[in-house]
């Protein structure tokens, strides 16, 4: 199937690589730019994984079309279709469990996950958040950064915990905020210069077994991180 590399026998590749291939499920709600980058990295073998399912909280999310294009099975679970929040949350966990992921990635997923979901996937659940955490957890980060007059902004990949955008940070990268930035220009620069680089990097590292959550701390290549890894240099003027 298009976009799959891990599941197929590839002459010349060591069998070890095929055995290590991981199963990824991506949760989306929106446009799917991070999903697209993950699809491409998997297709190129730069993330040693198959994306085995994409689950959306919105039926109209353009991210779903990107998944279909890549031959990835999709599911839609709209919170509004359920009488109670708990019913939705149970259905979501059952849906993702059925896909048997080694790694679950939130990519613009807009629905807060309940404790049962987070606990089930603790250490195997990542998010990319558009701010230099611990600054600006929550929504509308670009607007808040502009309102505060900050000189730098960025994005962070973190393990997800029950505390919203509060799980241990793995890697982050910054961009300069310029005087003529608006929400649109700033969000695009953060996406292009940082998110689309650090999320595939973190997914690849996880799939190679280099990244681990142990007792609430991030370990990378056998050393405990005291602070998140920094994506190279302040990137300027890139959009």
- State how far the Cα of 98 lies from the Cα of 75, in Å rounded to an integer: 11
User: Which CB atom, from 119 or from 182, has the smaller least distance to ligand NHR?
Assistant: 119
Minimum distance from CB of 65 to ligand NHR (Å)?
20
Scan for tokens 């220009």, then name that residue: 185
Quote the CA–CA distance of 98 and 229 in Å, as a whole number.
Answer: 33
**Catalytic: which of 41, 88, 129, 158?**
129
Q: How far is the CB of 15 from ligand NHR (least distance, A)?
A: 37
Which residue spans within 116-167 are E strands per DSSP? 125-129, 152-159
| DSSP code, position 11 | T
Instruction: Summarize as ranges the residues that interact with ligand NHR (CB under 6 A).
Output: 106, 109-113, 118, 127, 129, 138-139, 160, 162, 164-165, 167
The percent helix, strand, coil of the chain (3-state, each to 5) is 35, 25, 40
129 is an active site residue: yes
CB 38 within 8 A of CB 27: no
**Smallest distance from ligand NHR to CB 44, Å:** 26
Q: Which is nearer to ligand NHR, 75 or 129 (CB)?
A: 129
Contact assessment for residue 76 and residue 49, using Cβ atoms and an 8 Å cutoff: no
The CA distance from 66 to 126, in Å, is 20
Our CB check for ligand NHR shows the closer of 146 and 162 to be: 162
Comparison of 160 and 207: residue with beta carbon closer to ligand NHR: 160
Beta carbons of 160 and 96 less than 8 angstroms apart: no
Min dist CB 57 to ligand NHR, Å, is: 8
Active site residues: 129
């Amino acid at each position: 199937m298009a976009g799959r590399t891990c599941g197929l026998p590839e002459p010349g590749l060591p069998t070890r690589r095929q055995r290590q291939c991981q199963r990824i499920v991506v949760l989306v709600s929106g446009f799917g730019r991070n999903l697209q980058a993950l699809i491409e990295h998997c297709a190129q073998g730069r993330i040693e994984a198959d994306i085995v399912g994409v689950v959306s909280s919105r039926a109209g999310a353009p991210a779903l079309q990107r998944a279909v294009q890549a031959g990835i099975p999709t599911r839609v679970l709209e919170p509004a279709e359920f009488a109670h929040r708990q019913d939705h949350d149970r259905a979501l966990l059952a849906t993702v469990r059925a896909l048997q992921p080694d790694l679950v990635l939130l990519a613009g997923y807009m629905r807060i996950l309940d404790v049962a979901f987070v606990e089930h996937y603790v250490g195997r659940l990542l998010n990319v958040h558009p701010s230099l955490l611990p600054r600006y957890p929550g929504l509308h980060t670009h607007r808040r950064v502009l309102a505060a007059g900050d000189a730098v902004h960025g994005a962070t990949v973190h393990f997800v915990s029950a505390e919203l955008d509060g799980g241990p940070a793995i890697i982050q990268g910054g961009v300069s905020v310029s005087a003529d930035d608006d929400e649109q220009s700033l969000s695009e620069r953060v996406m292009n210069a940082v998110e689309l680089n650090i999320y595939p990097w973190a997914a690849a590292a996880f799939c190679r077994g280099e990244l681990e959550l142990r007792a609430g701390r991030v370990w990378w290549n056998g050393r405990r991180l005291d602070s998140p890894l920094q994506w190279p240099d302040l990137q300027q003027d890139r959009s």
